[in-house]
Amino acid sequence: MTSIQGLPRFSGNAQPLNTASAITKNSNAFGDMLNNMVSDTNQAQANSDNAIQDLQAGNAQYLHEVMISAEEAEISLKMLIQMRNKALTAYEEIMRMQI
């Protein structure tokens, strides 16, 4: 059995973080994530619409692929709506805070 190694001692010469750049970096990452989520949801909706049109035209080979595409689009949209609801709730909570 091996022994557990302890944590190294703190040297005390840590530099403070540049919080302005960290906040900008995180906000850009969050904005990019939201943009990607909206774009992915839009693409899923378009794929679902195309699959349904192919089914109506008789070009779709398997019904289950059309249904899976439609369900993926629906789940993606529900996720996006829930993210919007949570962001709106957080914003409302911040606006209610006393300064």
Domain assignment present for residue 11? The answer is no
Stretch 29-46: mean pLDDT, rounded? Answer: 91
Domain assignment present for residue 72? The answer is yes
Residue 60 is given by DSSP the state -
Domain assignment present for residue 7? The answer is no
Structure tokens that stand for 78 in this block? 């529900």
Domain assignment present for residue 13? The answer is no
* Number of domains forming the structure of the chain: 1
Range of the domain at 59: 31-96
pLDDT of residue 13: 64
pTM: 0.67
Stretch 41-57: mean pLDDT, rounded? Answer: 95
The Cα angle at residue 59 between residues 57 and 62, in degrees rounded to 5: 120
Domain assignment present for residue 10? The answer is no
